[in-house]
Amino acid sequence: MTDLNAAVLVEGVHKHYGEVRALDGADLRVERGSVVGLLGPNGAGKTTLVRVLTTLLVPDSGRAIVEGYDVVEDADALRHVIGLAGQSAAVDDYLTGRENLELVARLYHLPKTEARRRADALLERFDLVEAGHRQARTYSGGMRRRLDLAASIIAEPPVLFLDEPTTGLDPRSRLALWDVIRGLVAEGTTVLLTTQYLDEADALADRITVIDRGKVLAEGTADELKQQTAQAVLSVQVETPDQLAAAAAVLGRLDAQDPQVEEAARRVSVGTTRGSAVIALAVRELEAAGVVIDDIGLHQPTLDDVFLALTGRAADEADTIEGAA
Ligand SMILES: Nc1ncnc2c1ncn2[C@@H]1O[C@H](COP(=O)(O)OP(=O)(O)OP(=O)(O)O)[C@@H](O)[C@H]1O
Ligand SMILES: [Mg+2]
């Protein structure tokens, strides 16, 4: 499995916890210098895969390689080229922010002065200069996340694993963290981040891998996934209800699909794969059929639609299936 462009390569990885198949033949590829979003609901197997890739968990079978190192055979070497910010921030509450960073730097065998220099630079970069001398137990959730992320990059690893980096943050802290992640990527860091948030995958990731129940359901750019799995919906509002039947007949012919008719709203909707050109076509055909259009629009699929199409449930429903994890 030599592949020079892949920073992360996973092939057919299985991991069982007793009866639970946390990973059931998962595949994944992350190009060097890119960001891949591993998107899946609670219990999908995201953390399990991150733990396999960061040598914290030995897979039952399959192969996983990071920067050319096998997670099992080359575990020690592999640990030197990765950073990990886990799902719950691994911060020592009784150390200050600065001490936390210096401790991690020392674990990577950086000399004391270099550890201090990098800690200072990171406190600055993550807006923690004021808080740097306070014990971490006084930090807000967002500050802990930032400190944890700072610690994960103090050794300047080429590959970074971020397990749900923004879960539990308020919208402002979330956007701030996105900016930090984008900055790391701009400097050439390869990032694998897990998320349950479709907008986060959409905003940060070059490519998205959707997983559920330990299996990959789909892979592609956000646009590719939207095209593959969810259709755009063309919707027309007619002037009077007696035109609904004629409108439905026209829309039904466009893509040979069954239109939905909402009497009260005087609206006919139909799935389409024709792209935005379908609007002009529909207008022409509707006018030719004597239909007067009050409103016409094309709803492009969102990543939420993709998620629904792939997993059979809405993104925010996933929370309630496994309970609050
Ligand atoms: N130590 C463990 N022992 C037993 N089962 C486990 C263990 N860790 C995880 N699991 C199970 O493995 C499956 C995958 O869990 P995992 O933590 O990888 O999911 P996840 O996608 O990270 O979910 P979340 O979004 O909630 O973090 C789940 O069914 C989970 O209950
Ligand atoms: Mg998890």
Tell me the per-residue pLDDT of 176-226, one tens digit each, with 9 for 90 and over. 889 989 999 999 999 999 998 888 999 999 999 999 999 999 999 988 888
Identify which ligand lies nearest to the alpha carbon of 318.
Answer: 1
Q: How confident is the model at residue 238 (pLDDT cuts 50, 70, 90)?
A: very high
78 and 161, same domain (yes or no): yes
145 and 261, same domain (yes or no): no
How far are the Cα atoms of 104, 150, 154, 181, 311 from residue 184, in angstroms, in the given order?
19, 11, 12, 5, 31
105 is a domain residue: no
For ligand 1, atom 27, name the residue with the nearest CA.
42
pLDDT at 318 over 70: no
CATH number at residue 244: 3.30.70.100
Share of the chain above pLDDT 90, in %: 68
* 8 A C-beta contact, residue 210 and residue 307: yes
State the average pLDDT for the chain.
90
The vertex-21 CA angle with 15 and 24, nearest 5°, equals: 70
* 8 A C-beta contact, residue 71 and residue 55: yes
How far are the Cα atoms of 143, 252, 271, 298 from residue 245, in angstroms, in the given order?
58, 10, 17, 20
**DSSP letters spanning 60-99:** SEEEEEETTEETTTTHHHHHTTEEEE-SS----TTSBHHH
For ligand 1, atom 30, name the residue with the nearest CA.
43
User: For residue 49, which atom of ligand 1 is closest to its CA?
Assistant: 18
Count of domains forming the chain: 2
Q: Determine the Cα–Cα distance for residues 283 and 178; give it in Å rounded to an integer.
A: 41
77 and 150, same domain (yes or no): yes
Q: Which of 21, 48, 317 to mutate to test the pocket of ligand 1 (most atoms within 8 A of CB)?
A: 48
201 is a domain residue: yes
146 and 55, same domain (yes or no): yes
278 is a domain residue: yes
71 and 176, same domain (yes or no): yes
User: For residue 87, which atom of ligand 1 is closest to its CA?
Assistant: 27
Q: Determine the Cα–Cα distance for residues 250 and 260; give it in Å rounded to an integer.
A: 12
The vertex-125 CA angle with 124 and 127, nearest 5°, equals: 65
- Ligand 1 mean position, distance from CA 207 (Å): 23
Among 85-99, 216-230, 309-323, the minimum mean pLDDT is found in: 309-323
Q: Give the DSSP H/E element, type plus range, for residue 239.
A: none
Query: What pLDDT is recorded for position 173?
Result: 83
184 and 40, same domain (yes or no): yes
Which residues span the domain enclosing 269? Answer: 231-300
254 and 184, same domain (yes or no): no
Sequence letter at residue 114: E
**Assigned token pair, 213:** 């129940």
Q: 10 Å Cβ neighbour count for 130?
A: 9
pLDDT: is 71 or 107 the higher one?
71
Say yes or no: CB of residue 40 within 6 Å of ligand 1.
yes
**Assigned token pair, 269:** 């909707």
Tell me the per-residue pLDDT of 239-262, one tens digit each, with 9 for 90 and over. 999 999 999 999 999 888 889 999
